[in-house]
Structure 1
Amino acid sequence: MNSSRSIRVPADGRGPDIDRKALWVVSELGLPTILRACVSCRSKRHRPTGKIRVNANHKLLDVWLLICCDQCGRTSKIPVHERVTVRALEHERLVRFENNDPAMVRQLAMDAALAGRAAYRLDWTGTWRLDTDIPFYDLGAGDAAPLEVIVRFELPAPVRVEKLLTTGFGLSRSAVRGLVDSGRVRLPLPVDAKAREDFTFLVHAAAPKSPGEPRAGRPA
């Protein structure tokens, strides 16, 4: 992934010029583990089988995502739709269910709302990595241009912002907290929040001055 160094946002009084951009991507390594008790061995770790079962009862449909226990291999069902009419489902969606569409299986396996309705949890451990492409940036140089970092998610894994920063910059938690507290890293959400959607933040070489703060060499 290549960062862009040629795009400049003209200064208009609302923010600094940005001529350096970097892309961080939360890349997908695998699907989350489905945590619910197996009725056979009581293990709690399950994986999607890649299959979706559709059962028709007259004009009503049941749709289940099939999962299997990591320990004993027992297959069980997660209800996606129960007793819905054929007309209640979009035709394309129904066809994808019937054809075990891999993209649909992936979508259902990552669906936090479905997990809440079916009373199970998702374990995102080992499902992502952070790929970064940062141009040379000297945080100690006071005259360096700000850097805009664009964070994109390939999967909706809930990742703590602090974890993204420590991984992306290769810094300790205390160093990252210091950058945020000093204003050198400006975030659109709290550093201890969990993000699962794209966002952008700014990195300044030195803490930006507050409005009205006198410049060096000028009387207050």
Structure 2
Amino acid sequence: MNSYGKALWVVKELGLPTIIKACVTCRTTRHHHPTGKFRINANGKLLDVWMLISCDHCDRTSKIPVHERINVKDLDHERLLTFENNSPALVRDLTMDAALMSRAAHRLDWTGTWELETDMPFHDIRSQGRAPLEVLVRFELPVPVRVERLLMAGFRLSRSAVRDLVGSGRIRLPRPLDAKAHEDFTLFVTSDGS
């Protein structure tokens, strides 16, 4: 069996995605960013929790429902405290929660939120005789990035060169080249396509 060299690529976080939703003041679809605050409303034994977001154009504040009409007893006390204390970590997590945004009928724009950092010096993987390489791709944030785009950035190759290497078996992937990855995975570069 081949002995693989190892490399680490990290999809580094540059910022949170913007939230695309219609602004009732601007009357158009605008980018919104979290304000860093939550609003909690109690009605007897029921709670509503919203994450507050602000329109980039007019600064209007809107709400994204996190919990609606939840019984106080059903919400973990520690989680309630994170809402009450406007936890930056919770704001970060909820902003990137695609399921939450989908339920609220909003989309996420990941433009400018990431960059690829590699721990390997540049070398031409297309040359024969290169030692096999195992590359761990780790995500600091769940940004959906096409595998092909990661390979182009990581190896500094054109789209056609990446496709040729994958087609010849020199680069082995755990998912299709045109798939969007957002979780850690490992790829392998062989010396001869075997």
Give the secondary-structure state (helix, strand or coil) at the position aligned to 1:36.
strand
* Cα distance in 2, alignment partners of residues 126 and 136 from structure 1: 24
Question: How far off its partner does 1:199 sit?
Answer: 0.1
TM-score (structure 2 length as normaliser):
0.95
Larger Rg belongs to: 1
Deviations 1:88-145 (A, max 9, x none): 1111111101100000000010000001111010000110000011256553554432
Amino acid at match of 2:153: T
Amino acid at match of 1:42: R
* Cα distance in 1, alignment partners of residues 124 and 101 from structure 2: 44
CA contact (8 A) 1:184 1:204 kept: yes
Deviations 1:172-209 (A, max 9, x none): 0000000000000000000000000000000112211x
Alignment match, 1:215? none
CA contact (8 A) 1:139 1:206 kept: no
* Cα distance in 2, alignment partners of residues 141 and 183 from structure 1: 14
CA contact (8 A) 1:130 1:168 kept: yes
RMSD after superposition: 1.3
Higher strand share: 2
Of 174, 179, 186, the match for 1:193 = 179
- Structure 2, unmatched stretches of 5+, are none
- Structure 1, unmatched stretches of 5+, are 1-10, 209-220
Compared CA separation, residues 97 and 187, structure 1 to 2 (3 A):
same
Alignment match, 1:105? 91
Alignment match, 2:160? 174
CA contact (8 A) 1:140 1:206 kept: no
Deviations 1:33-68 (A, max 9, x none): 100000001242100000011111111000000000
Which of structures 1 and 2 has the larger relative contact order (alpha carbons within 8 angstroms, sep 6+)?
2
Give percent identity, aligned residues only: 67
* Cα distance in 2, alignment partners of residues 68 and 127 from structure 1: 18
* Cα distance in 2, alignment partners of residues 94 and 140 from structure 1: 54
Instruction: Indicate yes or no: 2:31 matched with 1:59.
Output: no
Question: How far off its partner does 1:24 sit?
Answer: 0.3
CA contact (8 A) 1:141 1:206 kept: no
Alignment match, 1:80? 66
CA contact (8 A) 2:126 2:165 kept: no
Structure 1 residue ranges (4+ consecutive) displaced by more than 6 angstroms after TM superposition: none
CA contact (8 A) 2:13 2:140 kept: yes
Amino acid at match of 2:64: I
Alignment match, 1:38? 23
